[in-house]
A and B are shown apart, each in its own frame.
Chain A
Amino acid sequence: MTQQSGTAVLSTEATADALLVATGISKSFGNVRALQDVSVWLPRGQITALIGDNGAGKSTLVRVLSGVHPADEGSLTFDGSPVRFASPEDARTAGIETVHQNLALIDDLTVWQNLFLNRELVRGFGPLSFLDRKRMQEQAEKMLSRLSVNVPPIRSKVRRLSGGQRQAVAISRAAGWGSKLVIMDEPTAALGVQETARVEELVKGLRADGMTVLLISHNFDQVMRLADQVWVMRAGRLAAGRRTQDTDGEELVGLVTGAITS
């Protein structure tokens, strides 16, 4: 590796306390090679950012980590043991919650139904277990009020919500389950100034609670404000890694565009 910038390069060799280690991940869609031999790791209890231009492969990596589609090659280690996520449910069970770039909300379901989709609370047992709607609605109210400025009415259909409110619902869903790792794919993309500030507070709050966060963002100021560590992707490959304390926005821009190679 030629190091042309003056700062410390982050090794793809994970430290012992890494929560998640991805090694040699490759993924193709037909003849589009979306990911080629990508190795990254996430330090436990810290915020790691993943940046790169449009089409760099960030969301594809997110979908591999969250079990939406398995990698063609490569391996994952989560919380100390090797894992293979055959489905998103596997990843969620292991403790990985994800805010997808498309938010993965169901328009025709209500806010509270979306928050509890596939995590429904029930009363009774076996075939005679019924949804505990009241309890879900109460908890949904709490999950949302931590975050939004304009709390969307929990009984309204998601279709009726504004872009920011939808994002708030998706983020609340991911943050609400006390999981180990929360992945957020451009969580503030549709948000106003206040909402963005609030999401950033929430992300810091997750870290304060001991959770690990992977944050995808195009906003380098935000990355510098929040993240402890940054991975840079370019055209499906890992381009560089930095501790945020060792870098600045200018260098990140250079790494993303390829003006600086490391």
Chain B
Amino acid sequence: MADPTAVRAARGPTPGAPDERVRGQGLLGRLVARPELGALLGAVGVFVFFSAITDQFLSPLGVATWLDDSATLGIMAVAVALLMIGGEFDLSAGVMTASTALVTAMLATRLGWNVWLALLLSLAFALAVGAFNGFLVMRTGLPSFIVTLGTFFALQGLNLGVTRLVTGTVQVSGIRSAPGYESAGFVFASTVDLGGHAFQISIAWWVGAAVIASLVLLRSRLGNWIFAVGGAAGSARAVGVPVTRTKILLFMTTALAGWLVGTINILRFASVQANQGVGLEFQFIIAAVIGGCLLTGGFGSAVGAAIGALIFGMVRQGIVFARWDNDWFFLFLGVLLLGAVLVNNTFRRRAERARR
């Protein structure tokens, strides 16, 4: 027999020998396989571009400005990325930032509660809404897109309706005089002086969120489960992964992030508009997608989402520094989104083989 496969079968390969047809992975190969590569390249490009064409972009003032803009978006994008890797969406994440701020502000200004106590209650409210989202999605089997669209409208209606009932206007202000404002403001809305300019503490929260989310995702059991439930929920369930609990936890995490951002905002600006946050939910998703998350779940990166938010902030403020019309922001955004997705898509094919 001249058939080479027959000869090979007759001899038989050594048991346990690795398949020699699979090439080893170099450092470059592993780097290219990371989901956040597209975002990283984009961020460097945007950074270099605006540093070159404007003077302020690289100044301490400039850096503080675009980092500040990126920070609150970044906190949300990181949480939304975890949820997307877990295979779900949360369209109520944007209004949640307003709802929590409103709850805190009303309790503190109308009922005279200590700010910390008010924060505790708005946190409980946020977690309850997140758990409700998750429970409903898992219980009904409906797409989270639809379920959280419902929560989104419900919260928006509550924000406007309750605010108008209580205050007669569409905003709540006056939290500065509430007890506990100083200490809470120090934690969530103070500034740190670096290089002669004030940097918002929210930047630290953003970095912290990205680091913790990455550790959870890549170094903990829960992280494994998040990838598993997003990639193939049925298979994950069949090996005993607590699918429902994991997903509900992820919805609660985006709600928690919404509370954190709402808290940062209300303590910093001391007033909140009832229609705040609407439309932001898509920015969170876009930042996560630029950062390498797939809309289909099971793949993505928390650091990538944080970098996606950074790109947002740099472009938005870079356009201001360059004195362009703000309309150009959307052109930039569109091009960046497409570019990042194309890059991610190309490299993902390699990622399928790579070590994580």
Residues of A within 8 A of B (CB): 66-68, 87-92, 98, 100, 102-110, 113, 116-118, 120, 122, 129-131, 144-146, 148-153, 155-157, 159-160, 173, 193-194, 198
Question: Contact flags (1/0) for B7-24 with A, using CB distance below 8 Å?
Answer: 001001101111100100
A202–chain B nearest beta-carbon distance, Å = 11
Q: Is the interface of A mostly helix, strand, loop or mixed?
A: loop
- The listed residue (A108, A110, A151) touching B299 by CB distance below 8 A is A108
Assembled-state Cα–Cα distance A122/B9 (Å): 40
A59–chain B nearest beta-carbon distance, Å = 11
Query: With A104-B234, A106-B298, A150-B13 as given contacts, are A92 and B224 in contact (CB-CB < 8 Å)?
Result: no
A177–chain B nearest beta-carbon distance, Å = 11
Which residues of B, 232-268, contact A by the 8 Å Cβ criterion?
232, 234-242
| Residues of the A chain whose Cβ atoms lie less than 8 Å from the Cβ of B228 | 106, 109, 117
**Is B242 a contact partner of A155 (Cβ separation < 8 A)?**
no
Assembled-state Cα–Cα distance A248/B231 (Å): 43
| Residues of the A chain whose Cβ atoms lie less than 8 Å from the Cβ of B225 | 117-118
Would you give 12 A-B contacts (Cβ < 8 Å), ordered by A? A89-B240, A91-B240, A98-B238, A105-B232, A106-B228, A106-B231, A108-B298, A117-B224, A122-B220, A150-B13, A155-B355, A173-B239
Flag whether B177 is at the interface (Cβ < 8 A): no
- The listed residue (A102, A130, A149, A173) touching B13 by CB distance below 8 A is A149
- The listed residue (B224, B234, B240) touching A113 by CB distance below 8 A is B224
Flag whether B25 is at the interface (Cβ < 8 A): yes
| Residues of the B chain whose Cβ atoms lie less than 8 Å from the Cβ of A129 | 220-221
B17–chain A nearest beta-carbon distance, Å = 7
Which residues of B, 1-55, contact A by the 8 Å Cβ criterion?
9, 12-13, 15-19, 22, 25
| Residues of the A chain whose Cβ atoms lie less than 8 Å from the Cβ of B236 | 106, 117-118
Flag whether B128 is at the interface (Cβ < 8 A): no
| CB-based nearest A residue for B228 | A106
Interface centre among B221, B223, B242, by most chain A C-beta atoms within 10 angstroms, is B221
| Residues of the A chain whose Cβ atoms lie less than 8 Å from the Cβ of B351 | 157
**Is A88 a contact partner of B299 (Cβ separation < 8 A)?**
no
- The listed residue (A67, A91, A145, A159) touching B15 by CB distance below 8 A is A145
Query: With A107-B232, A156-B353 as given contacts, are A87 and B240 in contact (CB-CB < 8 Å)?
Result: yes
**Is A157 a contact partner of B238 (Cβ separation < 8 A)?**
no
Flag whether B227 is at the interface (Cβ < 8 A): yes
11 extra interchain contacts, Cβ-Cβ under 8 A, other than A110-B356, A118-B239, A151-B16?
Answer: A68-B237, A87-B240, A88-B240, A90-B240, A92-B240, A104-B234, A105-B235, A106-B231, A117-B228, A149-B13, A153-B22
Assembled-state Cα–Cα distance A258/B232 (Å): 37
**Is A160 a contact partner of B353 (Cβ separation < 8 A)?**
yes
Interface centre among B9, B15, B298, by most chain A C-beta atoms within 10 angstroms, is B15
Residues of B within 8 A of A (CB): 9, 12-13, 15-19, 22, 25, 215, 219-221, 223-225, 227-228, 231-232, 234-242, 298-299, 351-356
**Is A118 a contact partner of B231 (Cβ separation < 8 A)?**
no
| CB-based nearest B residue for A68 | B238
**Is A110 a contact partner of B12 (Cβ separation < 8 A)?**
no
**Is B25 a contact partner of A155 (Cβ separation < 8 A)?**
yes
**Is B13 a contact partner of A109 (Cβ separation < 8 A)?**
no
| Residues of the B chain whose Cβ atoms lie less than 8 Å from the Cβ of A153 | 18-19, 22
Assembled-state Cα–Cα distance A131/B226 (Å): 14
| Residues of the A chain whose Cβ atoms lie less than 8 Å from the Cβ of B235 | 100, 102-106
| Residues of the B chain whose Cβ atoms lie less than 8 Å from the Cβ of A152 | 19
**Is B231 a contact partner of A107 (Cβ separation < 8 A)?**
yes
| Residues of the A chain whose Cβ atoms lie less than 8 Å from the Cβ of B354 | 155-157
B1–chain A nearest beta-carbon distance, Å = 15
B292–chain A nearest beta-carbon distance, Å = 12
Assembled-state Cα–Cα distance A67/B19 (Å): 35
Assembled-state Cα–Cα distance A153/B298 (Å): 21
A144–chain B nearest beta-carbon distance, Å = 8
**Is A145 a contact partner of B16 (Cβ separation < 8 A)?**
yes
A89–chain B nearest beta-carbon distance, Å = 3
- The listed residue (A100, A120, A130, A160) touching B238 by CB distance below 8 A is A100
B256–chain A nearest beta-carbon distance, Å = 15
| Residues of the B chain whose Cβ atoms lie less than 8 Å from the Cβ of A130 | 215, 219-220
| Residues of the A chain whose Cβ atoms lie less than 8 Å from the Cβ of B215 | 130
Interface centre among B25, B215, B220, by most chain A C-beta atoms within 10 angstroms, is B220
| Residues of the B chain whose Cβ atoms lie less than 8 Å from the Cβ of A100 | 235, 238
